[in-house]
Amino acid sequence: MLAGDVASQVPAIACEIDVSWEVDVPDWAPSVPVLRNWVSRVIASQGEALQDETVPPGGVEISLLFTDNLTIQQLNRDYRQQDKATNVLSFPLRSQVEEQRLLLGDLVICPAVVVAEAQIQGKPFAVHLTHLVIHGVLHLLGYDHVEDDQAVLMESIEINLMASLGHQNPYVSES
């Protein structure tokens, strides 16, 4: 899926990271080690976003849901007032959960939208999915792109993280 061994490229971090996931899309399943590595890389590179709070001994947890167009459209409508399917939604929580972990929040990803966007943009599915996981985790860490200066900062982090995984700028089509 990714060029090279991602696990060996992930920098050491000071806390345990747990990525729990659920798939309600038939015939599709993510690679848990690859997802964990993408999430770990984002958190490791942006660990200062967690410095304002004490990370419990159990580390941090992120929940991922891979779902269909209808479900993500309903969530997008209910929480963002946009009645359309989208690629990724982030729901930051930052609350302590069982086993003394900090639940950063939930990511909801629609593989069908990711596939369609990747085809339009001329990118491999795995590369586009990598970018969207990075993008979503940055939202969970408090980054946003509403204001221009916020967008520039968030996009530069995304570009650097993608480059560290051997991928080009995600905001440039590969075709």
Q: Domain tally for the chain?
A: 1
Token pair of 78 as six digits: 């209910």
Q: Which residues contact 53 (CB under 8 A, 6 or more apart)?
A: 94, 102
Indicate whether 4 belongs to any domain.
no
Please report, for the domain that includes residue 81, its CATH number.
3.40.390.30
Domain assignment of residue 142, given as a range: 16-164
- ∠ CA 75-77-79 to the nearest 5 degrees? 65
Cβ contacts of 23 within 8 Å, gap of 6 or more:
29, 30, 65, 66
Q: Does 82 fall in a domain?
A: yes
Q: Is residue 5 part of a domain?
A: no
Is residue 173 in a domain?
no
Q: In this predicted model, what pLDDT tens digit does every residue of 27-68 receive, in sequence order?
A: 666 666 776 677 666 666 655 555 445 566 677 788 888 899
What pLDDT sits at residue 43?
A: 66
For 142: left if phi > 0, alpha if psi spans -120 to 50, otherwise beta; the answer is left
Please report, as a single letter, which amino acid is at residue 112: A
Q: 104 to each of 66, 137, 140, how far by Cα in Å? A: 17, 9, 6
96-123: per-residue pLDDT in tens?
A: 666 677 788 899 999 999 999 999 999 9
Does residue 87 form part of some domain? yes
Is 26 within a domain? yes
